[in-house]
Amino acid sequence: MQERRWLLEGVERPDADALDVYRRNGGYDGAWRAFDEIDPAAVIDEVEAAGLRGHGGAWRPVAARWRAAGALGGVRALLVDVSESESGRFRDRKLAERLPHRLIEGALIAAHALTADDVYLCVRADWRRARSVLGHAMDEARAAGWIDRALGRSGHAVRLHLHPVPGPLPARGTDQLLPHLIECSRPEPRASNGTNDLPTLFGAPVLVHTAATLAFLPAILARGSGAFRELGSADFPGTVAISVSGHIRRPGLFEVEIGSGSFGELIDTLAGGVVDETDLLAVFPGGAPALDGDALKSLQIDPGVWSQPGGGEHEGSFGCGTIVVADDAVTPLDLAARWLDHAAQLGCGQCPVCREGSVWLIQHLQRLREGGVTAIDPSALQERLEILAHGEGEGLAICGHPTVAAHVTQGLLQIAPEHVDSQASAGATPIDDDAPLRTADSIHLRF
Amino acid sequence: MTQLAIAERLRATVGEARLQSLLQAYAESRGAILPLAVLLRDEGVGIDDDVVTWIAQTCITSTAMVTSALSAFPELMNDPDSITVCDGLSCRLMGAGYVQRLLRDRLGSDRVCTSPCQNACSSAPIVQVRGTLYGGLQEASLQALAQRLEQPERAS
Amino acid sequence: MPPMTARCHIEIDDRAVEATRGQSVLEALHTHGVVVPALCHHPGLSCPATCRSCVVQVEGQGGSRMVTACNHTVAEGMIIRTEDSESRSLRSRALAEMVQRHAMECPICPASGECELQEAIGGHGPQAQAHELAGSSERVALGARLHFEAGRCIQCSRCARFEQEVSGAGQVGIKGRGPQIEITTGPAGVDHPLSGNLVDLCPAGALVDPASTVAAPAWTLRSVDTTCGSCATGCAVRADVDSAGQVTRLRPRLDSDVNDWWMCDEGRFGFDQELEGRLRLPEPATPDEETAWHVAVDRLRRRMAQPRSAVWLSPFLTLEEASVLIDAATTWGARLFLWSVEDRGEMSFPGGFRISGSRAPNTTGVGRLREAGETSVGTTKDLQTAIGEDQVGQLLMCGGGPAGVRPRLDRSGVSFLATHNLVSYEKADLVLPASHWLEKDGTFVNDRQQLRRVRPARAPMAGQTDLELFLQLAGREPTSAAEIFRELASRHEWLEGSSHAQLDANQRTHPQGVAAGGAWVDTLQRQGLLVIEDPAR
């Protein structure tokens, strides 16, 4: 297995964030073609031919969304999610810090193709460096005239804004979440009303994309859709950038061809294997149940093998392919408790099933850790997790945040039931206090 | 100097023009609540009742709405000078608990706070001090960082 | 009747029915008598669909799905199921989650008996273990007539949306995140003039009027539908009367032409000062003593039949009362004048609600009688001029407004003054007690020319109503307000086709009840478990 860089091309180049370095290496060639050589409709054709899908986790075909938006009368603004909001993922932050112009170029191409008037780059405020780098890159791009060449609906230049997002958002439902976040300043997704209506910002229709999705556009336009299509699987062409962290020798961001190997290979070859070569378990913060080492080895890096979005056999969601690895110094129960607590704090609190369900579960996992299985009703625990997991599908939740929380927890509890009792009888040893400081051998693409 | 006075000074330093362009980026000025709050924090202004009122007036909305918005992001309410230890999953695994305990012992609990995942997980465990990220902390580098933070703050 | 194209055919629980296109599934269900809980939804507010307690099964294009009834619209051929075990169990689950931390204190909660949450749990909720993590409630005062019981809040966000969309004051918002969310207010609490509606809106008894905690429980009250007489907006209201015959509270009724689901605090809380006030006149009086009604009536008729008599009409009178009094004045040969109450300026709100500038409920109505009448009616200024020119020897001055609204008139030179008022604040030769609008039967015309029906919620404190008094003054046989309105309608073109019965039918309570809070009482009524006696019906 080897890296194939499209999204991260040039990420290690010195001063990769500077406009002249980016431009010298083919940056803004895609924008040039999109603005000056072909019309917006042809840009959409090119994206369709490439088969690009959204890298935010839902993997919807990008061109199809653009066409659907056009059929509904078009959009006024494009909202770009540069907030990551998933524990363990660091792809978009890296992109914003190292390759801000690729992100800006992609956003401008999309805005031009959609004839959107405004682009809001919604960047996490606590990533100070990412914000200043992006802000500087926007100034550079503006001075060089790139922003003025992207034209919105009115024929005027697209307006590019940086909208700071002060903290992480709920893990799912970004489409309805980001516009609402700007409107009411609270991290609350709006409920779907079952129609295909576009999300709105102050009443105007908008489209929401994840940063990484748009950052593929410059290369697709510059190198042509064919080269992109050649990579990956038939349904999921191209590459994917996987964030690998945790107890791993060489944590980092690895961009690989979709379907070119398994997570086991990725961890053992590119990421250098598990620290101390002990047993491992893996957490997929994107919403798939956690796995133990054996199950992980054969699992392909391909959204198609997951039930979400590919309809495959593996339960849960491929998400963005983010993976957090833990060795056997950590017990799954501790991890589950921590995970749920984390998820509860990041929820918006609107739907009772998520708000109250997580309160109940946290309390019962705590009882389990302290008193063992006799302290709780295990079937009730499983039932509440099931309810949480099916929240969105059964109409009890407006977004997939509880599903993600439940899937990860369910997997962790399944991995090692024997841990549950032995740990409880030995008295709780929460990871909070006793875990020692650990160190990776090296870091792939250091922050 | 009250926080409000600092906020008013901001109008002078940031400039009326930039403030206006920030407000005009949104069809309704209440869209600028979070951008304004972040701008204030960047300038080292803590959020208190006066500042909430100031944001409400500037964005033509009520104080309850501003409180409602800001309270959804505990990060905004922390002291801008506090030392933030990332408490995300990867950092936890790599010893964020140890980092928290050590920094709290050395620097006092009130100077140290935790945050949700900061999305720099390959460098876990990480600590953020006034916007600067310290990652891949090992025993030695952590001790050195703690020592440096123990020094009386330089006026910069 | 909407055109046929606006209808569509749907099926509800195996029953083929018609629905209106564009209607929500929830509305269609309600129209056809199927009740599902909807705790975050309020028909007067935007629909966030976050409580998820109205989940039903819908079959349409693309197979069967569980959807929230409140924010999905009906479509031709849609099959809706509410009775299947899956959707029942999902609704029960949503409710169980919602009450998990809800303070279980129904026995001491003033909302008990008309609580939407209680109703929802009763009909759709879980059987046991619901309040597993509940604590007790902590009370916070948000305003003089608004307290917040934190432990009862179910985070439905109705109050916060009301503050954004209807009052526009934005004084209540949602604070925090995840399991910790709760409602918050600005430093001033809630002090806008529509704050009382928050109590009606709250589906869980978390926002309460502190006065209601010592009032009679909801299920012992009987209700009368009437119109608020506190200003010329003429909000449709429901007056709740306790077993002692006291009006304990007013709540708005849905009237989309006038007040939607809302009313102002002045109307809601201001009435009992006048209605039950200690200073109200119990019977007619002269400066020296109280007299019997028939003595007072005889004396007044005798004096008013003398030359140089004048009658000052009040805009607090109903159409029926004013018309009979005009008749009496005509037989006396008395000149007529109309008190015009000073306009304080209209107050309007983002949701379309408004508080009229005129504090008198029937200025328009009495004014229109004047325009149409054979006799001319002068203004306050005309009356003042007439008094100044010594043309007024006997004056009957009608008032009837609240204590703060008093006529300004210099009466020096008037040799006989009779006043007709709720309280006596003026030295007069004869003082006649007036009826409060909650004791009146009749009609008002609001400042938008809409006929508003006023119905008595309690017996007149003075033993007889204004209408009875005026009939005696006019020397007429006792008759009903409805009969007098019929006479009016035959004389006045603008009232043609109207009648009390027709107005009552139009003002029938909306299927969704009095402002949301009354749904539980309505359900009990539907089930025949509670009979609301209404003396006026």
Cα separation, A103 vs B3, whole angstroms: 36
The predicted-structure confidence for B95-146, as pLDDT tens digits, reads as follows 999 999 999 999 999 999 999 999 999 998 999 998 889 998 999 999 999 9
Cα separation, C208 vs C112, whole angstroms: 11
pLDDT on residue A277:
66
Q: Are A385 and A410 in contact (CB under 8 A)?
A: yes
Domain identity same for C137 and C19: no
Nearest to B72 among A186, A338, A439 (CB): A186
CATH number of the domain within which C29 lies: 3.10.20.740
Give C196's DSSP letter.
T
pLDDT band at C528 (very low <50, low <70, confident <90, very high): very low
pLDDT on residue A385:
93
What CATH number was assigned to the domain covering residues A242-327?
Answer: 3.10.20.600
pTM: 0.91
Chain B residue with minimal CA distance to A326? B93
Inter-chain contact A356–C100, Cβ cutoff 8 Å?
yes
Number of structural domains (chain C) is 3
Domain identity same for C428 and C505: yes
- Which residue has tokens 């969601």? A317
Nearest to B63 among C160, C176, C186 (CB): C186
Inter-chain contact A363–C133, Cβ cutoff 8 Å?
yes
Domain identity same for C183 and C315: no
* Tokens read off for C384: 């003042």
Instruction: Tell which of A244, A245, A320, A328 to mutate to test the B interface (max B CBs under 10 Å).
Output: A245
A433 contacts in chain B (CB < 8 Å): 97, 101
CATH code 1.10.10.60 for A19-167+175-229: no
Residue A247 touches partner B, C-beta closer than 8 Å: yes
B61 contacts in chain C (CB < 8 Å): 170
CA distances from C414 to C214, C340, C431 (A): 48, 20, 15
CA distances from A219 to A56, A136, A141, A293, B60 (A): 18, 22, 18, 36, 43
Inter-chain contact B67–C169, Cβ cutoff 8 Å?
no
Q: How many CB atoms lie within 10 A of CB C127?
A: 7
Q: How many CB atoms lie within 10 A of CB B146?
A: 17
**How far is the alpha carbon of C55 from chain A, nearest alpha carbon, in Å?**
7
Spans of all domains in chain A: 19-167+175-229, 242-327, 332-423
Low-confidence stretches of chain A (pLDDT < 50) are 427-431
Cα separation, A353 vs A395, whole angstroms: 10
The predicted-structure confidence for C62-78, as pLDDT tens digits, reads as follows 788 999 999 999 999 99
What CATH number was assigned to the domain covering residues B83-150?
Answer: 3.40.30.10
**How far is the alpha carbon of A104 from chain B, nearest alpha carbon, in Å?**
17
Domain identity same for C294 and C389: yes
Q: How many CB atoms lie within 10 A of CB B100?
A: 24
pLDDT on residue B80:
82
Inter-chain contact C51–A352, Cβ cutoff 8 Å?
yes
Spans of all domains in chain B: 3-73, 83-150
Give A37's DSSP letter.
I
Give A274's DSSP letter.
B
Give A350's DSSP letter.
-
Cα separation, C395 vs C309, whole angstroms: 6
* Tokens read off for C413: 């030179």
- Which residue has tokens 């964005």? B59
Q: What angle do CA C317, C323, C325 make, to 5 degrees?
A: 75
B62 contacts in chain C (CB < 8 Å): 163, 169-171, 173, 186
| E strand spans, C84-138 | none
* Tokens read off for A446: 């250091």
The predicted-structure confidence for C305-330, as pLDDT tens digits, reads as follows 999 999 999 999 999 999 999 999 99
Cα separation, B23 vs C490, whole angstroms: 61
Whether the per-residue pLDDT at C397 is higher than 70: the answer is: yes
- Among C317, C116, C303, smallest CA distance to C207 is for C116
Query: Helices B16-24 and B3-14: crossing angle, nearest 10°?
Result: 90
- Among C91, C453, C85, C438, smallest CA distance to C273 is for C438
C504-529 b/e (C-beta count within 10 Å ≥ 16 → b)? eeebebbebbbbbbbbbbbbbbeeee
Chain B residue with minimal CA distance to C178? B72
Cα separation, B36 vs B47, whole angstroms: 11
Inter-chain contact C101–A346, Cβ cutoff 8 Å?
no
**Hey, what CATH topology would domain A332-423 get?**
de novo design (two linked rop proteins) (1.20.1440)
User: β-strand C442-445 against C354-355: which pairing, if any?
Assistant: unpaired
**How far is the alpha carbon of B5 from chain A, nearest alpha carbon, in Å?**
23
A190 contacts in chain C (CB < 8 Å): 48
Q: Are A69 and A198 in contact (CB under 8 A)?
A: yes
What percent of chain C stands above pLDDT 90?
Answer: 62
Instruction: Tell which of C40, C97, C158 to mutate to test the A interface (max A CBs under 10 Å).
Output: C97
Domain identity same for C382 and C452: yes
Chains with at least 3 CB pairs less than 8 angstroms from chain C: A, B
Task: Name residue A123's beta-bridge partners.
Answer: A82, A164
Q: Which residue has the higher pLDDT, A424 or B21?
A: B21
Q: Give the ipTM of the model, two decimals please.
A: 0.93
- Among B124, B96, B86, smallest CA distance to A433 is for B96
Q: Are A95 and A5 in contact (CB under 8 A)?
A: no
Chains with at least 3 CB pairs less than 8 angstroms from chain A: B, C
Residue C172 touches partner B, C-beta closer than 8 Å: yes
Chain A residue with minimal CA distance to C174? A186
Mean pLDDT of C120-126: 83
The predicted-structure confidence for C423-480, as pLDDT tens digits, reads as follows 877 789 999 999 999 999 999 999 999 999 999 999 998 889 999 999 999 999 999 9
Instruction: Give phi and psi for C318, each to the nearest 5.
Output: -75, 170
pLDDT on residue C531:
44
Helix ranges (DSSP H) in A156-283: 174-184, 211-215, 217-223, 225-229, 263-265
Domain identity same for C370 and C487: yes
pLDDT on residue C519:
46
Does C274 map to a domain? no
DSSP B75-117: HHHS-TTSEEEE-SHHHHHTTHHHHHHHHHHHH-GGGEEEES-
Fold match between A19-167+175-229 and A242-327? no
- Among A16, A35, A17, A80, smallest CA distance to A216 is for A80
Lowest mean pLDDT among A86-95, A132-141, C211-220, C335-344: C211-220
**How far is the alpha carbon of B25 from chain C, nearest alpha carbon, in Å?**
22
Count of residues for chain B?
156
A231 Cβ neighbours under 8 A, 6+ residues apart: A4, A6, A237, A238, A239, A257, A258
For chain C, give the mean pLDDT.
87
Q: Which residue has the higher pLDDT, C134 or C52?
A: C52
Domain containing C204: what range?
104-113+130-214
pLDDT band at C113 (very low <50, low <70, confident <90, very high): confident
The predicted-structure confidence for A73-82, as pLDDT tens digits, reads as follows 999 999 999 9
The predicted-structure confidence for B121-131, as pLDDT tens digits, reads as follows 999 899 999 88
C58 Cβ neighbours under 8 A, 6+ residues apart: C25, C64, C65, C66, C67, C72, C78, C79, C80, C81
Inter-chain contact B67–C186, Cβ cutoff 8 Å?
yes
Within 13 Å, how many C-alpha atoms sit on residue A286's CB side? Answer: 25
The predicted-structure confidence for C139-187, as pLDDT tens digits, reads as follows 999 999 999 999 999 999 999 999 999 999 999 999 999 999 999 998 8
Q: Which residue has the higher pLDDT, C493 or A258?
A: A258
CB pairs under 8 A between B and C: 38
* Tokens read off for A445: 């693409």
Q: Are C237 and C228 in contact (CB under 8 A)?
A: yes
Whether the per-residue pLDDT at B17 is higher than 60: the answer is: yes
Cα separation, B123 vs B141, whole angstroms: 13
- Among A42, A33, A41, smallest CA distance to A70 is for A41
Q: Is C332 helix (H, G, I), strand (E, B) or coil?
A: helix
Does C205 map to a domain? yes
Cα separation, A391 vs A364, whole angstroms: 19
Cα separation, A270 vs A257, whole angstroms: 13
Give C179's DSSP letter.
G
pLDDT band at C410 (very low <50, low <70, confident <90, very high): confident
Domain identity same for C90 and C145: no
Domain identity same for C392 and C520: yes
Q: What is the dihedral of CA B141, B147, B150, B153, to 10 degrees?
A: -80
Inter-chain contact C172–B61, Cβ cutoff 8 Å?
no
Phi-psi category of residue B108: left, alpha or beta, with phi > 0 → left and psi -120 to 50 → alpha? left
Q: Are C368 and C377 in contact (CB under 8 A)?
A: no
DSSP C401-465: S-TT-------TT-SEEEEEESB--S--SEEEEPPPGGG--EEEE-TTS-EEEE--SS--TTSS-
Helix ranges (DSSP H) in A292-445: 293-297, 332-346, 352-371, 378-389, 401-415, 417-425, 431-434
Residue A307 touches partner C, C-beta closer than 8 Å: no
What percent of chain B stands above pLDDT 70?
Answer: 96
Q: Are A409 and A340 in contact (CB under 8 A)?
A: yes
Nearest to A186 among C55, C154, C174 (CB): C174
Nearest to C171 among B64, B72, B74 (CB): B64
Domain identity same for C459 and C317: yes
Helix ranges (DSSP H) in A115-215: 128-143, 146-149, 174-184, 211-215
pLDDT on residue B152:
65
Q: Which residue has the higher pLDDT, C428 or B1?
A: C428
**How far is the alpha carbon of A55 from chain C, nearest alpha carbon, in Å?**
26
pLDDT on residue A330:
78
Cα separation, A208 vs A78, whole angstroms: 6
Cα separation, A50 vs C486, whole angstroms: 79
Nearest to C48 among A191, A347, A387 (CB): A191
